């Protein structure tokens, strides 16, 4: 790959995650503090990304893969997304806000697949070339959250204004990216687009357990994304956005450790370690305090790398190995649909309901809130320990 093309792809990833990171982790604080939203309204706002993730495979598979070049679709969607963000930034009614954020996430979610398609179309060896390009997205997330934390913008409309300008910039920039024409196969069925031909994997009990666990563990993941920022703020932690960016930093570190851990631990032990980390981090958020025991909150933040990488990234590798060559794309599509769509949707809605349940006279019992995802992660852990086994069977 030419260095100029590599720079283009790295810039694409940087801009995409810079815009996403500007608002995603901070939206709950903005809604609670500025729009005086209820917990349920916050949960609903976060379900929009799950809804968009369910529709994204339809859009990418039925539109981009068949009729239009990926970079042009990406350009159009980001410019439209910028327009929607402009009107969203003017909205002060949390009920109406939901419809604007839904419209925006419907424009944004396809970017994740489109950007991967554009990048990998330029690679001869994606396994080696893609990580160095994708990591710029994580760096962008760290950069933007630190900017927001430094200038104390976490509860300000500026988080959406930053995303708006970034969306316009990425939209225009997308038209300069390497051409990625539609794929040749225009006859793929809707079932194939959604990965439903990978349902044969459910014949394997362990894969079925993994699939169910992946959905269930996305419920606690949604609690983290939606509630960590306001929870840490209420615990009297200062510069929350800056300190939460340590989670993305740990994600980079543990991503690099995966090959070593995979060799020494194997799939089951890595997944179990990831699940234990989920339980520990929620206990840390529940019992830590920004005044007397801030170090406990730091542990909860830094464990993000173990939680995410050791379960989700390891799970993607496991799915790839289990599926075999013929249905690996369908299998990955099915897992993405189930986790970011179904699991995150349930978790986002539930997190809002739980927050309202444990809020009395505007006082939030965060310790009780965090015990709910900790308990869910505990159930998934038991499910894994007793019913999952590592088998080498593939379904090529």
Give the Å distances, CA to CA, from 371 to 31, 197, 286, 287.
23, 37, 7, 10
Question: What does the pLDDT read at residue 340?
Answer: 83
Question: What does the pLDDT read at residue 389?
Answer: 81
Average pLDDT, the chain: 87
Alpha helical stretches, state H, 236-309: 240-287, 294-302, 304-308
Question: What does the pLDDT read at residue 201?
Answer: 84
What's the CA gap between 343 and 54, in Å, rounded?
A: 11
**60, 114 in Cβ contact below 8 A?**
yes
- At a CB cut-off of 8 Å and minimum separation 6, what does 156 contact? 30, 34
What's the CA gap between 111 and 171, in Å, rounded?
A: 11
**150, 242 in Cβ contact below 8 A?**
yes
User: For residue 358, how many other CB atoms are within 10 A of its CB?
Assistant: 18
Question: What does the pLDDT read at residue 317?
Answer: 73
More confidently predicted of 286 and 333? 286
Which two structure tokens, joined as six digits, stand for 256? 């690099």
Which two structure tokens, joined as six digits, stand for 383? 């499910």
Per-residue pLDDT of 21-68, as tens digits, reads: 999 989 999 999 999 999 999 999 999 998 998 887 666 656 655 677
Average pLDDT on 125-140 reads 80
Confidence tier at 394 by pLDDT (50, 70, 90): low
Per-residue pLDDT of 70-112, as tens digits, reads: 889 899 999 999 999 999 999 999 999 999 999 999 999 888 8
What's the CA gap between 278 and 237, in Å, rounded?
A: 21
What's the CA gap between 336 and 110, in Å, rounded?
A: 12
Average pLDDT on 317-323 reads 75
Which range scores top for mean pLDDT: 202-216, 316-330, 359-373?
A: 359-373
Average pLDDT on 183-209 reads 71
More confidently predicted of 165 and 196? 165
3-state class (DSSP) for residue 360: strand
More confidently predicted of 370 and 133? 370
Per-residue pLDDT of 175-195, as tens digits, reads: 999 988 876 555 666 666 555
The phi and psi torsions of 18 (rounded to 5 degrees) equal -65, -45
Question: What does the pLDDT read at residue 204?
Answer: 86
Question: What does the pLDDT read at residue 32?
Answer: 93
Per-residue pLDDT of 214-242, as tens digits, reads: 889 889 989 998 899 999 999 999 889 89
Give the Å distances, CA to CA, from 137 to 46, 49, 115, 315.
21, 18, 11, 21
3-state class (DSSP) for residue 65: coil
Question: What does the pLDDT read at residue 392?
Answer: 59
Confidence tier at 134 by pLDDT (50, 70, 90): confident
The phi and psi torsions of 350 (rounded to 5 degrees) equal -65, -40
Whether the predicted model's global pTM rises above the 0.75 cut? yes
* pLDDT of residue 328 exceeding 80: no
* Residue matched to tokens 């950069």: 143
Alpha helical stretches, state H, 24-108: 27-33, 39-59, 70-90, 94-108
- Residue 122 DSSP label: T
Confidence tier at 147 by pLDDT (50, 70, 90): very high
Question: What does the pLDDT read at residue 189?
Answer: 63
CA 312 to mean position of chain CA atoms: 10
CA 179, 180, 183, 188 torsion-angle sign: negative
What's the CA gap between 394 and 211, in Å, rounded?
A: 16
Q: Give the closest residue to 356 by CA, choosing from 369, 373, 370.
A: 369
Which two structure tokens, joined as six digits, stand for 38? 């209820």
Which two structure tokens, joined as six digits, stand for 316? 């993607």
% of the chain with per-residue pLDDT over 90: 51
**21, 140 in Cβ contact below 8 A?**
yes
CA angle 191, 197, 201 (to 5 degrees): 145
Question: What does the pLDDT read at residue 118?
Answer: 85
What's the CA gap between 50 and 63, in Å, rounded?
A: 20
CA atoms within 13 A on the CB side of 233: 20
Average pLDDT on 319-343 reads 74
């Amino acid at each position: 790959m030419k260095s100029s093309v590599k720079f283009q792809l790295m810039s694409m990833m940087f801009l995409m995650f810079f815009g996403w990171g500007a608002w995603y982790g901070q939206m709950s604080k903005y809604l609670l503090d500025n729009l005086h939203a209820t917990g349920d309204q916050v949960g609903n706002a976060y379900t929009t990304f799950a809804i968009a993730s369910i529709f994204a495979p339809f859009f990418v598979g039925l539109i981009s893969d068949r009729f239009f070049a990926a970079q042009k679709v990406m350009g159009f969607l980001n410019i439209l997304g910028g327009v929607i963000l402009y009107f969203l930034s003017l909205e002060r009614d949390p009920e109406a806000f939901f419809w604007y954020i839904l419209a925006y996430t419907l424009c944004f979610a396809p970017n994740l697949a489109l950007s991967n398609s554009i990048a990998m179309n330029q690679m001869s060896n994606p396994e080696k070339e893609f990580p160095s390009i994708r990591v710029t997205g994580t760096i962008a997330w760290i950069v933007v959250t630190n900017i927001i934390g430094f200038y104390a913008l976490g509860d300000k409309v500026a988080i959406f204004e930053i995303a708006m300008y970034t969306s316009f910039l990425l939209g225009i920039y997308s038209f300069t990216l390497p051409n990625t024409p539609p794929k040749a196969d225009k006859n793929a069925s809707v079932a194939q687009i959604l990965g439903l031909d990978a349902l044969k994997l459910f014949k394997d009990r362990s894969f079925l357990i993994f699939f169910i666990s992946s959905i269930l563990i996305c419920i606690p993941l949604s609690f983290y994304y939606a509630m960590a920022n306001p929870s840490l703020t209420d615990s009297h932690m200062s510069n929350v956005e800056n300190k939460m960016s340590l989670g993305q930093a740990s994600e980079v570190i543990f991503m690099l450790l995966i090959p070593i851990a995979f060799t020494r631990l194997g799939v089951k032990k890595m997944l179990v370690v990831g699940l234990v980390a989920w339980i520990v981090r929620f206990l840390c958020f529940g019992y830590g305090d920004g005044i007397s025991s801030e170090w406990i909150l730091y542990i909860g933040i830094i464990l993000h790398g173990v939680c995410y990488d050791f379960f989700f990234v390891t799970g993607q590798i496991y799915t790839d190995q289990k599926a075999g060559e013929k249905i690996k794309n369908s299998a990955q599509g099915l897992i993405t649909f189930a986790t970011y769509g179904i699991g995150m949707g349930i978790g986002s809605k539930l997190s809002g309901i739980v927050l309202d349940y444990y809020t009395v006279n505007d006082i939030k019992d965060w310790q009780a809130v965090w015990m709910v995802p900790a308990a869910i992660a505990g159930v998934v852990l038991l499910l894994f320990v007793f019913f999952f086994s590592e088998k080498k069977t593939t379904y090529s």
